[in-house]
Structure 1
């Protein structure tokens, strides 16, 4: 027999292949494919929020008086179809009390806005359904994510139902517009869906193992501040929807005072008192102003606390929230001073979209700080 080498048993040739750990073994699915799909949904929801805002600003939301999720995808195709839609609109309070005498061409203008808004909702639902089923069939969804992605679709379906619940509030009685609190619910859920997608995109942009590693270095205090920022921006969005619902942004055009005083006149003139919180344009605009000041102060404090973070990306994320908050406040003031023209109003709404997404990113950076060099 040939003699064996002293170190033969530990030679490279006989060394077994390295085995991955538990985290590596769990790396299944196609995170890139899921991320692309989420980005498409994110862009569509942003467009949906803008179209919804323009639908409200053009007083188009009540032009379609029935909810037909399937057949409603087909617009009027003949003169008789248009006449039937117009007759249905002429039976509701908005036409009888505000738009009596409207021509067919004027009705068609507001009809197309609302039809486009609903059609875009159908497109979002279709993109979600096809994407989810495709990812599910190809086993591209990472472990633990199926329920979260399915919840997005459920929230989208709920949003459609709430949209009709909102529209139905303006079809009877003496209502000239939809109920402002229902409008706030509808817009609020849209921002919830958008924020969830933003969080999921951020998480899908990094491997699961990297997230688990980064979570060990999370800043619990900054995470709490991030939660406060997201909640504060969301609350301000809801109050802004109440302002839009009753056109409260056009009643008092001076700033920083309101009709020459700190508070508007007749702030509590409606009875019972709680109606002023939803129906009194001066009260609603005052609350929106004050809550904006409070939110801005909170953002400054959160940014100041984030300056002590050891991570450059985390500090930058909170600084971005502060920068956009300054811009958003300036746009809001100018919008009020010019009596809320639709161009400034929709810009202000888009600013809210950017702000809440940046707040979500700031919280994500606090929970999962990005790796950096020792020099950084």
Structure 2
């Protein structure tokens, strides 16, 4: 007896019609009817045959990662894991709700928005993203869906754009009972600004391998476990997530990141703060070793974002024959002079950037994560970073 399940590629183009069609297929797959679903986006190449190979009978969705560690991988999400994630999210937020989809439908966060609303018996309202994400279009989508929509999921870049648009974006945001923020690190100042403006933001942490966000405001959802592997003297260790929302693995390969007992060893470092909340310190691979000192980029980025006029920051390491690596940074903002920005964070000592460049926008990948590889390439193609 064949104990596999075929995989159907479902293309999305940013339109509401495509997102709704994907939602219908996902609901059927989670219920055990029809093939597993592999969603693709408008700019994605046709998936290779290896990703379209039959999967286990319990797999409902095959979601590709953003490729932040190299080649993108196809994550096998079971119907059981997706249902557990939706159930735990509803429990944490105080009940079911109708969602507005303002993210690309083919990413894991978009998949979850579609499934959460379907579980509540109220199909998601969908924002048309074919022309990109614009505050005025978002406000129009909210007006068309009100008062039914009560839940929303965004990435930090979207939140910032809406807060900057006080006329339409901010007013539309205030009506949601919960606005989940994930997909990339969110600086404290942005969250404080949103909360001060009356927006009910909830930070989320997770990845495709955990059915998306599974730690809300630093606290794991029900049926989710959190451990730190090999913590150092300061309590910083590799984050390990476990429980009902963990994926079955990767399509066509085994990976040591998936541990026995349905646990997943992430690529991120973190520590548990007093009170029990998780603080995510960024990817272990992004830690810069300069002159023998380990520098987590997030620490330098927080310092840069505290400089007046700086809106966003991305910090990377570039090769250096003397130090092993140099800390360099790009920032965005208004009326910024690179050397003046650098002087403002001299107090960081060896962790301070050796060079700073000002950009109009940070290079991004996926649904809003800073593209660190592109930043490194920027310094390489422009002659490197000269030590100060």
**Structure index of larger Rg:** 1
Answer 1 or 2: which has greater strand percent.
Answer: 2
**Highest relative contact order (Cα 8 Å, sep 6+), 1 or 2?**
1
TM bucket, shorter chain: under 0.3
- Give the alignment's TM-score, normalised by structure 2: 0.25
Answer 1 or 2: which has greater helix percent.
Answer: 1
